[in-house]
Amino acid sequence: MNIITLPASLDERYFEPMVRTLEAAPEGRLLFDATHVRWADPYGMVGVLALGEVARRRGERAVFKMPDSPDVVSYMGRMGFFEHAEPIFDLNGPRPRSRHDGASDVLLEITPVNSHADVHTVVDLVNRRGLNILTSQLNYPMREAFQFSVILSEVCQNIIEHAESSGWVATQTYNWTKKVGRKVVVIAVMDLGIGFRASLAGAHAARYDHWDDGAALEAAFMHGQTRFHDPGRGQGIQQIRKYVARWGGRISIRSGTARIMDVPAWDEGVPLEKELPYLPGAQIGIVLPALVDASTSQPAAAAGRTGR
């Protein structure tokens, strides 16, 4: 059996090595070994679901070996990980009996996005239980907290409008004292659909000398281009970038073999990466730091680098 060892910190930083291992794995059954996972965030958990689904599509359900840490198992349970992992993996090891049912520490557990109705569900859930977290823990004024719902709505619609596939969304707050010096909210939205290159190819590929995943991401991310010939389209990602920049956050979009991101001053990411191991669909990660001063909506450090 081919083993993919999950990192101790199951988050965006360590996602790429997992994709690389999956791509390089010879034919045969896969084991996702989560034994040593000590910490997991939405990007990491949803990312494992995506990789497991890729493995399943290759022909055989992978095995998921549970983390040793009961705290991690409990947390992943509250985030709804195992409920969504069940159709994808053969789960190996004891797991919590029931999933999260609105626990106070969860902003938005892993939620499927299959239709526009699911987007309403996401916005309703975040407004019902998330506003308090956003205003009290992250110092967001109420108006900005509502804009957080707009970000979630637009980023989820991106799946439905462009992926021709279903996906997942999850979001949670964490204390990133070491890296950012404050709390953050992490959003992960992923699908395994057609990806940006295929979505935009019909409308835009002919205008590019070299049309690849990187070019498609630049077209959508930097220039707001979509497959629709409607000036009202393509605003979603642009507006999300605007909010993320205003709040000093980071947004990355990975699609196919490329990743583009707006990198804030506190981060060390690369604005545009190409020739990554292939993964279908789109994987979006957003990190929003708590505001320093709620009255002025000031982030810690707004200056950064953009995906070009």
Partner 1 sequence: MHSSGNVIPFSFDLSTLVQRSVASLYSHLVTRPTGRALRLGIESQIGEIGSVCLSVLDFTQVVVLDYSCADEAVAKLIQRYQLADRPADAYFVARGLGEQHRDPIDEVLIRHDLALVAEVEGEFTLLGCADELEHQAWHALQRVRLGRPEDVAVELDATAAEVGTALDRLASRRVVLRRGAPDSFCALTTLLPER
How many beta carbons lie within 10 A of that of residue 288, not counting itself?
28
Comparison of 110 and 126: residue with beta carbon closer to partner 1:
126
Residue 119 in the binding site for partner 1 (CB under 8 A): yes
Supply the DSSP string of 62-100, one letter for each residue. EEEEPPS-HHHHHHHHHTTHHHHHTTTEEEES---SS--
Residue 113 in the binding site for partner 1 (CB under 8 A): no
Choice from 235, 265, 275, 302 touching partner 1 (CB under 8 A): 235
Supply the DSSP string of 215-231, one letter for each residue. HHHHHHHHH---SSS-T
What's the closest the beta carbon of residue 119 comes to partner 1, in angstroms?
Answer: 5
Amino acid at 215: A
Candidates 18-26, 104-112, 166-174, 228-236: pick the segment binding partner 1 (CB under 8 A).
Answer: 228-236
What's the closest the beta carbon of residue 202 comes to partner 1, in angstroms?
Answer: 20
Candidates 111-119, 165-173, 194-202, 264-272: pick the segment binding partner 1 (CB under 8 A).
Answer: 111-119
Residue 229 in the binding site for partner 1 (CB under 8 A): no
Binding-site string for partner 1 from residue 159 to residue 188, where x marks contact by CB under 8 A and - marks none: --x---------------------------
Supply the DSSP string of 166-198, one letter for each residue. -EEEEEEEEEETTTTSEEEEEEEEEE-SSHHHH
Residue 296 in the binding site for partner 1 (CB under 8 A): no
State the Cα–Cα distance between residues 145 and 139, nearest whole angstrom: 9
List the end-to-end C-alpha distance of the chain, in Å, as a whole number.
41
Comparison of 23 and 161: residue with beta carbon closer to partner 1:
161
Tokens of 185: 């909210």
Cβ 82 vs Cβ 92: under 8 Å? no
Please work out the total of residues on this chain that contact partner 1, with binding judged by CB under 8 A: 22
How many beta carbons lie within 10 A of that of residue 233, not counting itself?
14
Residue 223 in the binding site for partner 1 (CB under 8 A): no
Comparison of 5 and 157: residue with beta carbon closer to partner 1:
157
Choice from 117, 202, 210, 303 touching partner 1 (CB under 8 A): 117
Angstrom CA distances, 276 to 29, 38, 254, 260, stand at 23, 26, 9, 11
Comparison of 68 and 124: residue with beta carbon closer to partner 1:
124
Comparison of 18 and 163: residue with beta carbon closer to partner 1:
163
Task: Specify the DSSP class assigned to residue 284.
Answer: E
Candidates 71-79, 140-148, 196-204, 269-277: pick the segment binding partner 1 (CB under 8 A).
Answer: 140-148
SS3 163: helix
Residue 295 in the binding site for partner 1 (CB under 8 A): no
Cβ 283 vs Cβ 47: under 8 Å? yes
Residues that bind partner 1 in the complex, under the rule CB under 8 A: 116-117, 119-120, 123-124, 127, 143, 146-147, 149-150, 153-154, 157, 161, 231-233, 235-236, 239
